[in-house]
Amino acid sequence: MNITLLFILLPIVAILPVFFIKKYLESSNNNHILYALFCYLGLTYLYIKLLANWEMSKIFCISQVIQILIVVLGGIMLYSEKLTKNKIIGVGASIIALYYLSK
Per-residue pLDDT tens digits for 13-63: 988 998 899 899 999 999 999 999 999 999 999 989 888 888 887 888 888
**What does the radius of gyration of the chain's CA atoms come to, in whole angstroms?**
15
For the beta carbon of residue 17, count every other beta carbon within 10 angstroms. 19
pTM for this entry: 0.69
Does the CA dihedral 72-77-79-80 come out positive or negative?
A: positive
Residue range 29-39, pLDDT digits in tens: 999 999 999 99
Least Cα distance to 10 among 76, 81, 65 occurs for 65
